[in-house]
Amino acid sequence: MIRNAKTNDLIRILEIYRYARQFMSEHNNPTQWPDHYPPKELLEEYLGKQQLYVVTEGECIHGVFTFFIGEDDTYKVISAGSWLSDAPYGTIHLVASDGETHGLLNKIVTYCQQHISHLRMDTHENNHIMQHLITKNGFQRCGIISAHDGTPRIAYEKL
């Protein structure tokens, strides 16, 4: 099940991001999310906007992500390629798992497509696992965008 995150979910959400940072570091992606990223304050901001979601099985939270419909500032400029469409889209960010469940991204994409079929997301060039999962879920690589911190990210789109 996927639902909006609640304030009392934040402790578990932070645990999942801590696990995800460690996993990425152990799999040749130590720089995508620096220590303590995403910060609790950013997660609280997404929570307040109802853009922070959790993936649950029973009462246990196994995954977390952000999702919103509307223009993403980091997607305004794309290099080494182009977007497939300029139509309104939904953006998926900050996908993380506790490693206890499989098919998490598929569940997230299916959920988000119930709200809007046109989706975008991105990942770091060293995050080969996520690159594979993104393309496995029907996204096409479109080019390179810059994250808020100025670092490049591979941009994907699904129509």
Residues 109-150: pLDDT tens digits?
999 999 999 999 999 999 999 999 999 999 999 999 999 888
Phi, psi of 21 (to 5 degrees): -60, -45
What is the pTM for the complete model shown?
A: 0.93
The predicted pLDDT at position 26 comes to 83
Here the tokens at position 156 are: 């994907």
Cα end-to-end distance, the chain, whole Å: 24
